[in-house]
Amino acid sequence: MSDDKSTARDLYYQEYHHQLYNNNNYDRSTFNHQTSINNIPRSSSTSSFHNDLNGLLSSSSSSDPLTQQQLSFTDYLHGTSVDYNTGDRDFNLLPCSSPEIFSSLDVVGGVLDNNKNHIGGSKISNLVVDSAWCTNIVNNPVTPNSSSVSSSSTEAAGDDDSCNKRKNNDENQLSKGSEDGTDFPKNKLNKQNKKVDKKQREPRFAFMTKSEVDHLEDGYRWRKYGQKAVKNSIYPRSYYRCTTQKCTVKKRVERSFQDPAVVITTYEGQHNHQSPATLRGNAARLLAPSMLTSSSPFLGSSSFPPRHQDLMLRIPSSSLTNDNNQVHDHKSSNYMYPQHNLTPTATVLHQQQLRVLPADYGLLQDMVPSFNHNEQKHP
DNA sequence: CGAGTTTGACCGGCGC
DNA sequence: GCGCCGGTCAAACTCG
C-alpha cells in the first residue's frame, strides 16, 4: 500500500479508525444508529439532486394508499420492488440541520441530536423524530420546471449516472480493445440502448447515524470500490458495492464534516437476495423480506417519518439533547477530531444501545450476533 | 490464494 | 471550451 501517497486527510482518517478500534473496545458490528431515514433523490451532484428533489416534490398528488404504510430500514435494505418512479408520493423531505450535508453530501435530512433543529416550528429533541419535524423543506420549487411531473421516467432517463458511466466504461474497454484495428460498430447502438437503460432509476435511501464506525454493519457484505475526498470536508466518502453476484446495490458512507460524530450512509438500489446474516440464521427477523413494495413509509406525508421502531434504536433523548449541539459529554474523545470538538460516543452509545426497546434489541441481536458480547472483539 | 482494500486515473455531467 | 466534481475503474496491494 502506498501510505506515503496518502493525503493528510486520509492519514487523519486512518488514525481515527486506529484510535477508535484500539482505544474504545468498540465493536464495529454494533448497529449503532440513531437516525432519521430518508429517501433521497438519485443523483450525485447538488444540482441534479435538486432536480430529483423537485421531481419528487412535483409528484405529490398522491392518492396511493400504500404510501400510508411504513417502511423500515431493514425493509429497504432487503429491498423489494419499491417503485420510486411512480410519482405517488407526497414527499416530505426531512430538512437537515447541516447545510454542508444538504448541499454537498447529497443527503436530505437526518438531524439527530440537538436542540437547534427547529424546522417548520418543530424541534427535534429526540431520536424519535417527531413527525412535526417533517416539514416540506421546499416551499419554493427547486427548479422552475417542477411542474413536469413526468419526473420518474423522464428525469430518470437523464440521470442514472453511475450505471451509465459504468456501461460507458465497459464501452471504453471495448474501444480500447479495438485499438488494434478491430472495430465494434455496435458500440453506438449500444449507447442508444444504454440511454434507455438509464430509465432504471435505483432508489436511494439515506440515513444519518451517530456512530464512530463509518461502515455500519447491516447484515450484508460489501466490497469497497472507491474512496473520494469530499469537497468542503476533511472526511472522505467511501463507495461500497454488495458483494453478492448480480446484486447491484451500492452504498456510500461518509462522515459529516459539520458533525463528525454523524455518519451518513446512502443506499442505492435494492438487494435481490437475502442477507448473508439471514442465511446464517441471524437477523432473520430484521432482514426478513417484509418488503415494502410501494409501501414506502417515507413517501407518504402522513407517515413520514417512518415509525421509529422500524428504523433505529432508541436512545434516551436526554443523552441526545443537551446543551449546544453536543450529544453528550465528550471530553475524552476530542483527540479524534481536535478541530471539531467531537462528540464522543463510543462508550455512551454503546451503553445506550443496551437500553433500546425490547423489540429493537431483538432485532439487533438477530442482526448482529456479537451485540451481546461485543467487547474486546477487535484484533 | 482468494477476497477485500487502496488509490491514481479516468469519465461524464455540469456550471461558468 | 474549460475546469471542477462525483462516481467508477482497475492495478497494486494487504490480509486472513
pLDDT per position as a tens digit, A158-214: 333 333 444 444 444 333 333 333 333 333 334 334 333 443 456 677 778 887 777
State which residue has its Cα closest to the C1' atom of B5: A224
Closest-approach nucleotide to residue A11, Cα vs C1': B6
* Measured CA distances, A169 to A63, A161, A173, A191, A309 (Å): 41, 12, 6, 11, 42
Per-residue pLDDT at A308 exceeds 50: no
Predicted pLDDT at A128 = 25
Indicate the pLDDT class of residue A295, thresholds 50, 70 and 90: very low
Instruction: Write out pLDDT tens, residues A222-246.
Output: 889 999 888 888 888 999 988 887 7
Per-residue pLDDT at A21 exceeds 80: no
Predicted pLDDT at A201 = 52
Which architecture characterizes domain A209-274 according to CATH?
Answer: Single Sheet (2.20)
State which residue has its Cα closest to the C1' atom of C15: A1
d(CA A335, CA A83): 44
Q: Is A370 exposed, middle or buried (0-12, 13-18, 19+ CB in 10 A)?
A: middle
Indicate the pLDDT class of residue A75, thresholds 50, 70 and 90: low
Q: What is the mean predicted confidence (pLDDT) over A19-27?
A: 37
Distance A324 CA to C4 C1' (A): 35
Q: What is the mean predicted confidence (pLDDT) over A120-140?
A: 26
Q: Is the CB of A40 under 7 A from strand C?
A: no
Closest-approach nucleotide to residue A51, Cα vs C1': B14
Q: What is the mean predicted confidence (pLDDT) over A269-296?
A: 50
Predicted pLDDT at A278 = 61
Straight-line distance from the first to the last Cα atom of chain A, in angstroms, rounded to the nearest whole number:
20
Q: What is the mean predicted confidence (pLDDT) over A31-58?
A: 38
Indicate the pLDDT class of residue A276, thresholds 50, 70 and 90: low
Nearest by Cα to A97 from A259, A317, A236: A259
Instruction: Write out pLDDT tens, residues A339-368.
Output: 333 333 332 233 233 222 233 333 333 333
Predicted pLDDT at A325 = 32
State which residue has its Cα closest to the C1' atom of B4: A223
Distance A45 CA to C5 C1' (A): 8
Nucleotides of B under 7 A from a protein CB: 3-15
* Measured CA distances, A188 to A162, A164, A214, A246, A338 (Å): 19, 14, 41, 25, 53
* Contact criterion met (CB below 8 Å) for A147 and A57: no
Q: Is the CB of A225 under 7 A from strand C?
A: yes
Per-residue pLDDT at A269 exceeds 70: yes
Distance A355 CA to C13 C1' (A): 42
Distance A119 CA to C11 C1' (A): 48
Q: Mean pLDDT of all residues in chain A?
A: 44
Predicted pLDDT at A234 = 84
d(CA A162, CA A201): 10
Cis bond upstream, residue A379 (ω within 30): no
Q: Give residues lining strand B (CB < 7 Å).
A: A 1-3, 5-6, 10, 45, 47-48, 51, 158-159, 161, 164-165, 168-169, 172, 221-228, 238, 240, 243
Predicted pLDDT at A194 = 38
Distance A45 CA to B14 C1' (A): 8
Distance A223 CA to B3 C1' (A): 9
| Count of CB atoms situated within 10 Å of the CB of A5 | 7
State which residue has its Cα closest to the C1' atom of B6: A1
* Structure-model confidence comparison of residues A76 and A54, the more confident one: A76
Per-residue pLDDT at A265 exceeds 60: yes
* Contact criterion met (CB below 8 Å) for A173 and A128: no
Nearest by Cα to A94 from A142, A133, A68, A59: A133
| % of chain A surpassing 70 pLDDT | 19
Predicted pLDDT at A285 = 41
